[in-house]
Chains A and B, each alone.
Chain A
Amino acid sequence: MSEQKVYCNQSPSLPGRQRVGKIIAEIARANSLWVVAYGTGCGAIELRPLHTARFDMERFGIAMRPTPRQADVIIISGYLAVKTLKRVIRVYEQMQAPKYVVALGSCTINGGMYFDSYNTINQLDLYLPVDVYVAGCMPRPESIIEGFTVLMKSIKAGEATGWQHYIENLDYYRSNQNEVIPRWDMPTYNW
């Protein structure tokens, strides 16, 4: 199957204002957040307790989905090596809008412990539109749940528009990504 068929090759367009049931849609979105099951860093170790008995994420309708096509949220769980950043961008762009990014750990904010490492990025929001940062190394499950509640509130208020920002300023993000990722052998728009 040719790339043309798999990936739509024109720049994504912002959907028009949803007149029909905008309120219902946003309440539903806030109450069923599906997280793509991709543990990008060491924060993934705290995502396991998050959906077991102690801190039950599913109470809030947060569930893990194994494929990005069905997910709404991607959790960047900690530092991002350059090799992983490439995969994360690909996964993020394969997710269907509206989509949100939750970044865990101080290493996504300013590099954290790895501020001088030659292989980990220092600021995630140069490459992906981050909706919620959860600080800490590593953040406790309670704080992750707190971050999710903040995300839900902003979704209900219609403020979690990181994905629209990503589409509008795609050139800015692309230039940042391209100067970090040496070989960009991915389709330009792969959603």
Chain B
Amino acid sequence: MAVTILVAFATAVLGLCYGLLLGGISRKVMARIHGRIGPPVTQNFSDLVKLFFKRTAIEHGGMFWLAPMFRLTGGLGVLFLVPIVVGRFSVVNISFAGDLLLVVYFMFFGCLGMALGAGDSGHPHAVMAVSRGLAQMSTYELSFSMVVLVLAVGLRTLNIGDIVAAQSGGIGQWNLVRYPFATAAAMIAFLPMQMAYPFSIVLAPQEIPIGPPTEYGSRFLSLMLAGRSIFGVAKLVLFMNLFFGGASNIADLVMKTLLLYLYPVFVSAVFPRFRLEQSVRFLLVVPTVLALVELIRVIT
């Protein structure tokens, strides 16, 4: 029991640090694309500490206070439910090795809590961004759940551990190879999940600066930064488990998650932002059709 709690705690801390580090790396990479030197990779750590030690004198009601908690909880939930390393030495936090649907629910949970809190902040930009974000989320969650359905039908299981085990036999067994269309759909849905351009219509600095966190200052923002980092890592681990054969050791984990993390960075470096209806149309058509094709392939 104690060991489990210890491992869970270590997972949370390490996930946080790794997420912050990944954020720093992505800022560095983006700066290099711009031709700049870029911030040190440890930039997000100092941001986190600085924000945590700032004065907080904003009162917007209960939900406003709770929203960063929701986000953090969502991130931690996903992180704990997903088996991180499966192999000789394996890190599986919650012993029943959670169900994929529960993970999807937790991914909803964070965003919804964020939406409620932002709505409570009463800033028109935040409200607009929330409506945008919910509209967009419903679209990409549709295609993502269809991908989940594909995996469920194809592999006869919703248990992430079993899904990872099913593709343990080398690259040929990965779902990337087995279900290429589903993987493509999921990777397209991965962009709006990571708020990457061209789907980054929620935090649109030139249109509605800057969306839900407009009113969120010092400590709230540090909590949200932590939540976002953990959430990001959890999503990376989830996608790695679902399509890229999981991780059998730490080096494997780091390499796969790093590559997965850099993919949205490169995409958002060269694309402007969609308008809301354009984004929704794209997300409703392309990934959904891909997932449908895969579903038909799997069923027949």
Chain A residues packing against B (C-beta within 8 Å): 1, 5-6, 8, 12, 15, 18, 21, 24-25, 27-29, 31-32, 34, 37, 51-53, 56, 58-59, 61, 63, 65-67, 69-70, 72, 96-98, 191
From B204, which residue of chain A is reached at the shortest CB distance? A66
A-B contact pairs, 29 of them (CB 8 A): A6-B122, A8-B57, A15-B55, A18-B53, A25-B49, A27-B46, A28-B49, A31-B43, A31-B46, A32-B50, A37-B205, A37-B209, A52-B34, A53-B34, A59-B36, A59-B38, A61-B39, A61-B47, A66-B205, A66-B210, A67-B213, A69-B58, A69-B215, A69-B217, A72-B50, A96-B55, A96-B217, A98-B55, A191-B58
Q: Is the CB of A5 within 8 A of B57?
A: no
Residues of B within 8 A of A61 (CB): 39-40, 43, 46-47
Task: With A69-B58, A96-B218 as known contacts, state yes or no: A53 contacts B35, CB within 8 Å.
Answer: yes
CB-CB under 8 A from A191, the residues of chain B are 57-58
* A58 in contact with B122 (CB, 8 Å): no
Chain B residues with CB under 8 A of A67: 209-210, 213-215
Nearest CB in chain B: distance from A15 CB, A: 6
- Tell me which residues across on chain A come within 8 A of B40, comparing CB atoms: 61
A37–B54 CA distance with the chains assembled, in angstroms: 19
Contact across chains for A70 and B46 when beta carbons are under 8 A apart:
no
Convert B24-51 into 0s and 1s, putting 1 for each residue whose CB lies closer than 8 angstroms to a CB of A.
0001000100111111100101110111
Contacts known (A1-B122, A56-B31, A61-B46); A12 close to B57, Cβ less than 8 A: yes
Contact of A56 among B36, B56, B59 (CB under 8 A): B36
Contact of A5 among B43, B51, B53, B59 (CB under 8 A): B59
The reply to whether A58 and B213 form a contact with Cβ atoms under 8 Å apart is no
**When the two chains form their complex, are residues B53 and A28 in contact, meaning their CB atoms are under 8 A apart?**
yes
Check: B216 CB closer than 8 A to any chain A CB: yes
- State the Cβ distance, B254 to closest chain A Cβ, in Å: 25
The docked-state distance in angstroms from the alpha carbon of A8 to that of B60 is 10
On chain B, the residues within 8 Å of A98 by CB distance are: 54-55
Docked-complex contact B37 and A59, CB < 8 angstroms = yes
**Shortest beta-carbon distance, B46 to chain A, in Å?**
4
Tell me, in angstroms, the Cα distance from A29 to B210 when the chains sit together: 22
State the Cβ distance, B226 to closest chain A Cβ, in Å: 14
B61 within 8 A of A: yes
B284 at the binding interface (Cβ < 8 Å): no
Assess whether B50 is in contact with A25, with CB atoms less than 8 Å apart: yes
Residues in A whose Cβ lies below 8 Å from that of B51: 70
Task: Please state if B216 and A69 are interface contacts (CB–CB under 8 Å).
Answer: yes
A56 CA / B60 CA spacing, docked (Å):
36
Residues of A close to B221: CB separation below 8 A: 70
Q: Which residues of A contact B36 (CB under 8 A)?
A: 51-53, 56, 58-59
Judging by beta carbons under 8 Å apart, are B217 and A59 in contact? no
Cβ distance A24 to chain B, nearest Cβ, rounded Å: 6
Instruction: Assess A56 versus B38: contact at CB under 8 Å? Given A5-B59, A96-B217, A97-B54.
Output: yes
Kindly identify which residue among B46, B57, B122, B205 contacts A96, using a CB–CB cutoff of 8 Å.
B57
Max chain A C-beta neighbours (<10 A), residue from B38, B47, B213 = B47
Chain A residues, CB < 8 A from B61: 5
New contact pairs (8) apart from A6-B60, A51-B36, A65-B210, CB-CB < 8 Å: A1-B122, A37-B209, A56-B38, A61-B39, A66-B210, A70-B216, A70-B221, A96-B55
Give the complex CA separation of A61 and B27 in angstroms.
11
Cα of A121 to Cα of B222 in the assembled complex, Å: 37
A108 to B51, CA, bound (A): 29
Q: Closest 7 interchain pairs by CB? A: A66-B209, A28-B49, A53-B35, A25-B53, A97-B55, A28-B50, A56-B36
Q: Which of A15, A32, A37, A70 contacts B213 (CB 8 A)?
A: A70
Nearest-Cβ distance from residue B242 to partner chain A, whole angstroms: 34
> What residues on A are CB-neighbors of B38 within 8 Å?
56, 58-59
Chain A minimum-CB-distance residue to B214: A67
A59 to B31, CA, bound (A): 10
Is the beta-carbon distance between B56 and A96 smaller than 8 angstroms?
yes
User: In the complex, what distance in Å separates the CA atom of A120 from the CA atom of B35?
Assistant: 38
Q: How far is the CA of A67 from the CA of B209 in the complex (A)?
A: 7
Contact at A5–B60, with CB atoms within 8 Å? yes
